[in-house]
């Protein structure tokens, strides 16, 4: 495991620890998506992902955070940390136009 991912692990632990202290909200929903993109489509995917994440945070009060992460050695392998206020916020997110565009 390289230094980059070790730093990410520490950041994750700090983020989860901080959320637990600040929120103490058992309704929060945390998801980690793992996506592998065909390299020829990586730039197009990254542009759509950026739009989707920005719109989700800006337009949806139930979306607390979306953190896309790319591996330095394998930039087409992406992990996305998502935090929602609750399951209803997540289910609502799945029906938004920006998410449906991302999925297609």
Residues 3-42 as b or e (16 or more Cβ within 10 Å = b): eeeeebeeeeeeeeeebeeeeeeeebbeeeeeeebeeeee
Expressed as residue numbers, the domain containing 79 is 25-103
Give the CATH number of the domain where residue 43 resides: 3.30.70.100
- Mean per-residue pLDDT pooled into runs of 10, the chain (104 residues): 42 45 72 94 95 96 94 92 95 96 91
Total domains in the chain come to 1
| 9 found inside a domain | no
- The pLDDT score that the predictor gives to residue 9 is 42
pTM, to two decimals: 0.73
CA distance 49 to 101: 10
Phi, psi of 3 (to 5 degrees): -60, -40
């Amino acid at each position: 495991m390289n230094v980059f991912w070790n730093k990410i692990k520490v950041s994750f632990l700090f983020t989860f620890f901080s959320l637990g202290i600040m929120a103490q909200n058992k309704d929060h929903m945390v998801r980690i998506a793992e996506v592998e993109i065909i390299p020829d489509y990586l730039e197009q995917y990254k542009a759509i992902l950026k739009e989707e994440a920005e719109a989700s945070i800006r337009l949806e009060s139930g979306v607390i955070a979306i953190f896309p992460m790319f591996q330095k050695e394998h930039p087409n392998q992406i992990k996305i940390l998502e935090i929602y206020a609750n399951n209803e916020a997540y289910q609502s997110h799945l029906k938004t136009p920006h998410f449906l565009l991302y999925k297609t």
